[in-house]
Amino acid sequence: MLQPSAMLALSTLLVSAFTYPESGAAAHNATDRAGAAQTTSESGAGRLEQVLAARPADLTARDQYRHPRETLLFFGIEPGMKVAEVSPGSGWYTHIVAPLIGADSAIYGIYYNPTMWGQIYDRYTEEMIAERVAHIHEFLPMVEGIRGAEGITAAAYSFGGIDPGLNGTLDAVLMIRTLHNIACVETRGGYLTEALADVHALLKPGGVVGVVQHRAPEDTDDDWANGFWGYLKESAVVAAFEKAGFDLVAKSDVNANPKDRPAPPDYVWRLPPALLLQTDDEETRRAMRGIGESDRMTLKFVKR
């Protein structure tokens, strides 16, 4: 999600002239801590392949950047699971997960606490906030329109207002490219603490949280790497989850991009697919396209 204030605050864009080595085969290997990281069964993997192949070209075009096959295998998403997706947006991952888990399962869209929007950007009008809050009503119609998801149980909630009857029933929660929005307003209302508490409550013991998040270098300034610019430090994400009652059991470099080495005043939306720049200079745009999509951590947590 683009933060408007991130754009207004910038007067120039600093483009790095450095080049970085390609990630090679190591970018697709989990760390030694992963163990049996790809826990999806053989039958589940086969179904995933079918779902991926059945999508239209406008969705599959992003596969080369988002690596949905490797990511969902790593998180162990299986047919029959009950899964929640935090801030599903236009449903790029929902169009994979819903038909993958199938009709004998359930999928839930979990949206941001409605009060959060006014904290992210002080200039949001009531109309702008209402528009964003209303996105929750798009989830059910979207799921109903997904081929292969017919008959699936679906519902949508916001953090701070989830049906307590769901507590302890979910197998997995996916938090893909969404943590920065919650983390950047933690000091303004405890929104990250609330979200992780809700996620913890929803999961069964041993339930999985799959995190994909734009990654800030560990040596960058903490005030910049607070999520407002789209980036978070991996160490900060792990610390927040451990404090909330989760254990990190595996991590993967499948979504890593060593060409993206951001530093202040960089913001993640300068890169594809957004390419939101304050210049029409083609050399700058070419440099951003050369970097590609952001460097992203891919972390697998389990509920204690």
Domain coordinates of the chain in residue numbers? 4-303
Query: Within 10 A of 272 (CB to CB), how many other CB atoms are there?
Result: 15
pLDDT for residue 33: 39
Q: What is the mean pLDDT of the chain?
A: 89
- H-assigned helices in 160-278: 179-183, 186-189, 191-202, 234-243
CATH code: domain 4-303 is 3.40.50.150
The region of weakest confidence among 2-11, 110-119, 207-216, 239-248 is: 2-11
Confidence of residue 123 (pLDDT cuts 50, 70, 90): confident
**Global confidence as pTM:** 0.87
pLDDT at 40: 82
Q: 211, 139, 156: which is closest to 179 by C-alpha?
A: 211
Please, which residues have CB within 8 angstroms of residue 28's CB and are 6 or more apart in sequence? 70, 252, 253, 254
> Percent of the chain having pLDDT more than 90?
83
Task: Write down the pLDDT at residue 120.
Answer: 85
* Confidence check: pLDDT of 13 > 60: no
Across 108-131, average pLDDT: 91
**CA–CA dist 4, 123 (Å, integer):** 9
Return the pLDDT at 39: 64
Gap between the terminal Cα atoms of the chain: 30
- Which tokens is 74 given? 């790593």
C-alpha span between 132 and 112 (Å, rounded): 9
Closest CA to 174 of 250, 72, 63, 39: 72
Q: What is the pLDDT of residues 193-252, one digit of tens each?
A: 999 999 999 999 999 999 999 999 999 999 999 999 999 999 999 999 999 999 999 999
The burial of 271, by beta-carbon neighbours within 10 Å (0-12 exposed, 13-18 middle, 19 or more buried), is given as buried
Q: Is the pLDDT of residue 24 over 90?
A: no
Q: What share of the chain is helix, strand, coil (3-state, %, to 5)?
A: 40, 20, 40
Task: Using pLDDT thresholds of 50, 70 and 90, give the confidence band for residue 21.
Answer: very low
pLDDT of res. 185: 96
Bridge pairing between strands 153-158 and 170-176: unpaired
| pLDDT above 70: percentage of residues in the chain | 87
CA dihedral 17, 276, 262, 260 (to 10 degrees): -70
**34-57 burial code (b ≥16 CB/10 A, e <16):** beebbbbeeebeebbeebbeebee
- How does pLDDT run across 155-207, given as a tens digit for each residue? 999 999 999 999 999 999 999 999 999 999 999 999 999 999 999 999 999 99
pLDDT at 32 over 80: no
Nearest by Cα to 43 from 100, 115, 111, 127:
100
Whose CA is closest to 159, among 122, 132, 193, 203?
Answer: 193
What is the rounded distance in angstroms from the CA atom of residue 177 to the CA atom of residue 85?
11
Neighbours of 184 (CB within 10 A): 22
